[in-house]
Structure 1
Amino acid sequence: MKQMVGLAGVFAYLSLLTIGGGMAAYPEMKTMTVSIYHWLTADQLVRLYSLGQMAPGPNMMMIAGIGEWVAGPTGALVATLAFFLPTALLTLWVGRVWERLAGWPWRASIQRALNAVSIGLLLAGVVAIAKAAVTGWTGAAIAFSVFAILTATHMNPLPLMALAGVAGAFLFR
């Protein structure tokens, strides 16, 4: 029962940090799940996060995997509900209030500030996952190459993921 309360508390808290997307919560997720609660290792978290990025549907469904790792199917359900329910209810409430404030002079300023906050949180998440996932010059070269190609061409990332998987099979044995 203590594990369930811990899962619910951690993921309800993390749900409130997802301004700009799930990557925004990654640094704190790492702190909570790896450093404080010791539910996972940093490597396990990166692998679960990577699976969530590649799987169809919302990428943050990977939190169900963490919940399952910690406390089985019930843990998966608790983590998922704790992660999605608070932000769903908060979004519903804020959306209604936001409509009433349509003519409020501070509204545009708040939106611009939240844009900057979401970019900062997203970049912090990218740096945190890169520190754990990119090991050595080979991994850095693959990551930089994929970044450069996607930035220059805006191509579908699926072929690059397949190519990186093949390269990894040969380069990281």
Structure 2
Amino acid sequence: MKEFLNLFMAFFRIGAFTFGGGYAMLPMLQKEVVEKYHWATEDEIMDYFAIGQCTPGIIAVNTATFVGYKTKGVLGGIVATLGIITPSLIIITLIAAFLQNFADLAVVKYAFNGIRACVCVLIFNAVSKLAKKSVIDKICLGICVVVLLLSLFSPLSPALIVILAGIAGVLFKRTGISGGEKK
């Protein structure tokens, strides 16, 4: 029972203190899931996050479900999912009840501007950590550049881009093309 409570509370904290969507949760996810509880490795978290990105639903919920399932099976997936969504339900209910009364106040507008700026930095930090772990050779760097260009300049869906990148990785590995390991 204690493990389920730990699972719920860890994802509750992630859900409560992560503003800005799925990408902003990466630093907390790494701290709670990888460093504190050792429920997954950094590579597994990146894999769950990538799969969560290209499956229907919210990245945070999908990732929590994957980690919970890996840790404690189906019930663990449910507990982790409830943990990640409960803070949002509480916060959204409170905001819906009170925001209309305060939305036009300058201090509220300034607070949201500050939160948005902070989220940008958190996302940048998460992306730079992911890049250091994911771009391990020249082939990976090439795939990364192509994906960046496709995501910026093409109408392709992010899910399709992720699938194409996975196929490219498999094809390069199968053909024996090596990008040389990054030191």
TM-score, with length taken from structure 2: 0.85
Describe the SS at the equivalent of 1:16. helix
Correspondence list, 1:10-159, <5 A: 10-60=10-60, 61-159=62-160
Q: Confirm or deny: 8 A CA contact 2:23 2:126 kept in the other structure.
A: yes
CA contact (8 A) 1:19 1:121 kept: no
**Normalised by the size of structure 1, how large is the TM-score?**
0.90
Superposition deviation, residue 120 in structure 1 = 1.5
Q: CA deviation at 1:158?
A: 4.6
1:90, 1:23 → 2: CA distance? 19
C-alpha distance in structure 2 between counterparts of 1:141 and 1:36, whole Å: 34
CA–CA separation in structure 1 for the residues paired with 2:121 and 2:37: 26
2:53–2:159 contact (8 Å) kept in structure 1: no
**Alignment RMSD, CA only?**
1.8
For residues 36 and 24 of structure 2, what CA distance do their matches in structure 1 show? Answer: 19
Q: Which runs of 4+ in 1 moved over 6 A?
A: none
CA contact (8 A) 1:26 1:128 kept: no
Which runs of 5 or more structure 2 residues have no equivalent in the other structure? 175-183
Change (3 A) 1:172 1:35: farther
Instruction: Write the letter of the residue equivalent to 1:25.
Output: M
Aligned CA distance change for structure 1 residues 159 and 72 (closer, same or farther; 3 Å): closer
* Aligned amino acid, residue 44 of structure 2: Q
Alignment partners' CA distance in 2, 1:172 and 1:68: 29
- Which moved further from structure 2: 35-44 or 132-141? 132-141
Q: List gaps (5 residues or longer) in structure 1.
A: none
AA in 2 matched with 1:151? L
